Structure 1
Amino acid sequence: MTLTQIRQKSLLGLKELGRGEIESILNRAAHWESHPEKVNPVLTGKFVANMFFENSTRTRFSFEVAEKRLGAEVLNFSAAVSSVQKGESIYDTVRTLESMGIDAGVIRLKPNGILAELAEKVNVPLINAGDGNNEHPTQALLDLYTMRKQFGDLKGLKVAIIGDILHSRVARSNLWALTKFGAQVVFCAPPNMQAPELGAPIVSIDEALKADVIMMLRVQLERHESGMIKSAEEYRQQFGLTVERAARIAPHAIIMHPAPVNRNVEIDDELVEHPQSRIFPQMQNGVPVRMAVIERSLQ
């Protein structure tokens, strides 16, 4: 494969991906969801490395289930127990796995900008499983898939994303993908967690509750220490989806969250499995969506 073909099979982000390409991934995910048998060995003989330089149990397991359901051989790499801890660069680690014969790499890392550099230097497709505060494309794809299943069409939907927009790769990927489909995205965040440069309107919590989709972002509780949030309880009172606030959302509206959830901080405990919540269905939808993305990279 040429480098251009490899880049076309990679999934680095949704900002540059066309609407038609996103739609084809969602349609293929629907195909896989309609085939409930555990294993469809279309990728027998293919080797996929999950390279997680930043921990994320849910995302890694979701990718691993997707890969194994497609019949691929899976290698799991965790930076916490790797030579990266001993000073080896991320680039050297990825090149090492490439030289051993992997066919694709799923990669998650903290630093911004490294993924794009890696994609220029390695000769296998890379799938972004979250890079810095830049993008998290498969999370946004499963979010769109969940909304499409609920509403049929994304055009005209109003989606409110509430929380730490400034540091959120989920907010960015969702904004860029949803606007391609004619949805309206609004943000709601404390003043020190806003990102006005992204261009989406910033609204109050009361206004955000009028949306068709109420998407709560996870609060990084460690930001207490840096003073970005005074306390978890104060955040809940000002920006959390409390039972009282949830009573005011429209009957057709749905509640979403990328997980893991801080119960009783960004969302009250009893709302996680509320009839209007789609938090666990989102996780379920992640497997067929990631099956579609992996298949796209390896065929």
Structure 2
Amino acid sequence: MSTENSFVNQFNAAGELTHLLTLEGLLKEQIVHILDTAQQFVSVTDPAREVKKVPLLRGKSVFNLFFENSTRTRTTFEIAAKRLSADVINLDISTSSTAKGESLIDTIDNLIAMQADIFVVRHSVSRAPIEIANHVPPYVHVINAGDGSHQHPTQGLLDMYTMRHFKQDFTKLKVAIVGDIVHSRVAKSNIHALTALGCTDIRVIGPESLLPNDLDMLGVKVFHSMEEGLRGVDVVMTLRIQKERMEAGKVPEGAAFFAQFGLTPERLALAKPDAIVMHPGPMNRGVEIDSKVADGAQSVILKQVTFGIAVRMAVMSIVAGN
């Protein structure tokens, strides 16, 4: 959770956002500007709208470079780019020259030569998008779509949009994040954004092995009991256990994890009656969340996905100078 140890410059000389690499260090006004811009795009995502396009990125090329699997993030970025009238190129990493040993930077240089304007990058290595952003020329923009256990800024922003949509005032919110915090780039982005927006009651709940050891520095409250941590909260966000980023046997799995930290209707009842339930996906039903909760009246999980299109439209239009 500590401060960036790699150089990050998300702004140009005029102070305008030219890349989106992390939410750490963004000011409240900068985050609110993105959320307000996304709100303007929500009408474009309305299923009843006959023409779901605006011309803001017409003539621009957006390259989706996903070195890790993704459903929601990759697809919503593609939809968002197309609704901004951009040309979208989805690079199949498994059949690209990176599979033959080409370096990441050499791949980027070749794609720049193909007149790329925006790179949307997901990578298993933390800070890989930062390395790319520090390399590209000023007219090329980089958006971090999730890097290792580091950051997932657009997910954090769409989560903030969802909370603001349903709860409005961040300064009055009590937010609980449950599960694998230490490996979660989503949790890190959410904590930085919530702090910037004035939320003073941020809680994390999970086994000790899945919680970072520096949360106290950020003013985050740590709980190892669902019953204690969920009491009186406005927002509950559950996270999956990221087995791909840890050694086997480090934490209870499956039914054992669910027994201790699964979000059930009984545990949700400890939160406020109008509390909302969130999950960035993918969900593991019966592990971190009960299906009755995931599909229940308090769940806004699918709304998060829909809002993600507008938020990613906002980010791409802002970094591209529109």
Q: So what's the TM-score if we normalise by structure 2?
A: 0.88
Shift of 1:168: 0.6
Q: 1:209 aligns with which of 230, 234, 241?
A: 230
Instruction: Note the 1:6-155 alignment, pairs <5 A.
Output: 8-35=17-44, 36=46, 37=49, 38-123=52-137, 124-155=140-171
Shift of 1:220: 2.6
Shift of 1:25: 0.5
Query: What percent identity do the matched residue pairs reach?
Result: 45
Aligned to 1:286: 308
Shift of 1:112: 1.5
Q: Secondary structure at the match of 1:196?
A: coil
Instruction: Note the 1:204-283 alignment, pairs <5 A.
Output: 204-210=225-231, 211-221=233-243, 226-283=248-305
Q: How many residues align?
A: 298
Q: Retained in 2: the 8 A contact 1:224–1:231?
A: no
Q: Secondary structure at the match of 2:277?
A: strand
Aligned to 1:196: 213
Q: 1:180 aligns with which of 185, 190, 196?
A: 196
Q: Secondary structure at the match of 1:8?
A: coil
Shift of 1:231: 2.5
Paired amino acid for 2:157 = L
Shift of 1:77: 1.2
Q: Deviations over 1:254-284 (max 9, x none)?
A: 1100011001110011211211011000011
Instruction: Go from structure 1 to structure 2 and tell me whether the alpha carbon gap of 1:207 and 1:295 turns closer, same or farther (over 3 Å shift).
Output: same
Q: Secondary structure at the match of 2:17?
A: helix
Structure 1 residue runs of 4 or more that deviate by more than 4 Å after TM superposition: 2-7, 221-225
Shift of 1:7: 8.0
Shift of 1:6: 10
Aligned to 2:3: none
Q: Retained in 2: the 8 A contact 1:62–1:290?
A: yes
Q: Retained in 2: the 8 A contact 1:154–1:182?
A: yes
Q: Secondary structure at the match of 1:276?
A: coil
Shift of 1:238: 0.5
Q: Retained in 1: the 8 A contact 2:119–2:141?
A: yes
Instruction: Go from structure 1 to structure 2 and tell me whether the alpha carbon gap of 1:4 and 1:99 turns closer, same or farther (over 3 Å shift).
Output: farther
Q: Retained in 1: the 8 A contact 2:227–2:270?
A: no
- C-alpha distance in 1 between matches for 2:272 and 2:81: 38
- C-alpha distance in 1 between matches for 2:102 and 2:193: 35
Q: Secondary structure at the match of 1:160?
A: strand
Q: So what's the TM-score if we normalise by structure 1?
A: 0.94
- C-alpha distance in 1 between matches for 2:202 and 2:246: 28
Q: Retained in 2: the 8 A contact 1:55–1:78?
A: no
Of 79-88 and 211-220, deviating more is 79-88
Q: Secondary structure at the match of 1:255?
A: strand
Of 217-226 and 275-284, deviating more is 217-226
- Unmatched runs of 5 consecutive residues or more in structure 2: 1-10
Aligned to 1:169: 185
Q: Retained in 2: the 8 A contact 1:128–1:137?
A: yes
Q: Deviations over 1:11-42 (max 9, x none)?
A: 01110222111100000100000333411122
- C-alpha distance in 2 between matches for 1:264 and 1:171: 21
Q: CA RMSD in A?
A: 1.8
Q: Deviations over 1:98-131 (max 9, x none)?
A: 1210111111101113222221111211001001
- C-alpha distance in 1 between matches for 2:197 and 2:278: 19
- C-alpha distance in 1 between matches for 2:307 and 2:17: 24
Paired amino acid for 1:22 = I
- C-alpha distance in 1 between matches for 2:17 and 2:56: 20
Q: Retained in 1: the 8 A contact 2:62–2:87?
A: yes
Paired amino acid for 1:208 = G
Q: Retained in 2: the 8 A contact 1:48–1:104?
A: yes
